[in-house]
């Protein structure tokens, strides 16, 4: 979605993610183009094929078929000319971390795709690499539908450019009357993300890792502060004996817990940032980022851990009897 950059996406209502595109009949494209407020609309093919490499091995690839006339959604080339995609058997390969799985093809490299000859006529870069760990190839819509077996219909998506932002609600209403869905780019990204988080193991795994990390952090910090209090129990008793109030001791402990938690929070954020920077040196398309939402969530968890740790320590301090301390 990010690489294509279309403002509106028309698709079957059953589509939940990029891997489950249900082909639409050709008349839908004509109907969308006739809607008032549509500047232009073009088809997009999205599918998976098996490529036979020069050494005889096979490699799955994701194939995107661009509109033959406009090539809307074409990637930025670092080698070659985009016009060469119209040449016989022309394909553009994306150079990302999956690029080596195609044996790092250069310009003019040949391969087989469903018993059809393919030739690399361009090497491209894109803002975001594939999610499924397979290389990506671009070609024209007509070639993709000709080379890759499909059902009766071949159009996976329709990319729509509205005349202006005010035209979008009318376009959405008209497309829904046709029985199809039309979503903005961000809306489709959110739908795909929600589907993977809620209907696959990805969300459960992330939740489990976060919960385990939180529980481990909670238990270790609580135990650490409790040990700290036990080791310094005589000092707290002395402070209490010379007139320190209970609320002053509570404030002292929570201040120590807060400062320690914030220091660890800062070190953790710094370590994450360094690791992401190092990962991007090896994988330029590495997608992990630290957002303000992440920072806020992590800060909230740190405050909860610090508060729990301080509470464990405070209970012991408030029960101190100065007489027992000095008697010991």
* pLDDT tens figures, 128-184: 776 677 899 999 999 999 998 877 888 999 999 999 888 999 999 999 998 999 998
**Rounded CA separation 99/93 (Å):** 8
| Average pLDDT of every residue of the chain | 86
Copy the structure tokens of residue 3. 């690489």
Question: pTM surpassing 0.75?
Answer: no
Retrieve residue 236's tokens. Answer: 């707290």
Per-residue pLDDT reduced to its tens digit, 58-105 = 999 999 999 999 999 899 999 999 999 999 899 999 998 788 889 899
- pLDDT band at 27; cut points 50, 70, 90: very high
CB 38 within 8 A of CB 32: yes
Q: Where are the alpha helices (DSSP H) in the chain?
A: 26-33, 141-147, 168-177, 185-199, 201-231, 233-241, 246-282, 292-318, 322-327
pLDDT tens-place string over residues 201-254: 777 888 888 889 888 888 887 788 778 777 877 787 788 778 778 788 888 888
Could you tell me the pLDDT band of residue 322, with boundaries at 50, 70 and 90?
low
């Amino acid at each position: 979605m990010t690489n294509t950059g279309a403002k509106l996406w028309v698709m079957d209502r059953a589509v939940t993610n990029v891997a489950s595109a249900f082909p639409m009949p050709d008349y839908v494209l004509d109907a969308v183009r006739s809607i008032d407020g549509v500047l232009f609309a073009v088809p997009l093919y999205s599918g998976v094929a098996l490529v036979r490499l020069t050494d005889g091995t096979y490699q799955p690839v994701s194939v995107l078929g661009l509109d033959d006339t406009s090539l809307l959604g074409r990637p930025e080339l670092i080698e070659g000319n985009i016009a060469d995609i119209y040449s016989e058997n022309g394909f553009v390969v994306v150079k990302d971390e999956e690029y080596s799985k195609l044996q790092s093809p250069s310009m003019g490299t040949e391969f087989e795709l469903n018993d059809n000859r393919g030739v690399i006529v361009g090497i491209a870069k894109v803002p975001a690499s594939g999610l499924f760990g397979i290389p990506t190839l671009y070609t024209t819509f007509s070639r993709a539908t000709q080379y890759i077996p499909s059902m009766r219909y071949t159009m996976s998506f329709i990319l729509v450019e509205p005349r202006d932002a005010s035209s979008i609600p009318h376009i959405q209403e008209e497309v829904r009357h046709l029985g199809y869905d039309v979503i903005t780019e961000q809306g489709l990204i959110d739908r795909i993300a929600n589907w993977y988080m809620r209907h696959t193991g990805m969300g459960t795994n992330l939740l489990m890792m976060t919960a385990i990390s939180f529980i481990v952090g909670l238990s270790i910090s609580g135990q650490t502060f409790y040990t700290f209090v036990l080791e310094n129990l005589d000092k707290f008793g002395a402070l209490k004996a010379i007139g320190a109030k209970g609320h002053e001791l509570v404030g002292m402990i929570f201040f120590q817990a807060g400062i320690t938690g914030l220091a660890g929070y800062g070190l953790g954020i710094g370590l994450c940032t360094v690791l992401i920077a190092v990962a991007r040196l090896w994988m330029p398309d590495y997608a992990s980022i630290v957002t303000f939402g992440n920072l806020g969530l992590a800060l909230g968890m740190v405050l909860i851990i610090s508060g729990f740790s301080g509470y464990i320590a405070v209970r012991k301090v408030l029960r101190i009897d100065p007489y027992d301390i000095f008697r010991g």
